[in-house]
Amino acid sequence: MEWFDPPMCKRSQKIIPGLLKKLNAYEEKIHSLEMKAQALETNCFKAEKMQTKCSKCIRLVCFMCVVIVIVSVYLKA
């Protein structure tokens, strides 16, 4: 059994290559956007970790300030 495709009309011969080029361009764009999304997700995760560390540091600094104020008030009394 042989496969036989009938000849394509001139219009389809002009249109199909352009459609395939557009399809390939869209696929490349999708891949590029997926890579950017993955990088943004990684950066977001890193930023969240840094924010957690910063909030811990801020709490520590506030605690130290309170301790310093209490000690200075105690020493003045």
Note the pLDDT of residue 77.
Answer: 66
Note the pLDDT of residue 38.
Answer: 94
Spatial distance between the Cα atoms of 59 and 53, rounded to a whole number of angstroms: 10
2 occurs within a structural domain: no
| Domain hosting residue 22, numbered range | 9-77
4 occurs within a structural domain: no
Number of domains in the chain: 1
30 occurs within a structural domain: yes
69 occurs within a structural domain: yes
Spatial distance between the Cα atoms of 9 and 14, rounded to a whole number of angstroms: 9
Q: Which of 68, 48, 49 is nearest to 60 (CA)?
A: 68
23 occurs within a structural domain: yes
Spatial distance between the Cα atoms of 67 and 77, rounded to a whole number of angstroms: 15
Tens of pLDDT along 17-75? Answer: 999 999 999 999 999 999 999 999 999 889 888 888 888 888 888 888 899 888 988 88
54 occurs within a structural domain: yes
* DSSP structural state of residue 7: P
* DSSP structural state of residue 4: -
Note the pLDDT of residue 74.
Answer: 84
48 occurs within a structural domain: yes
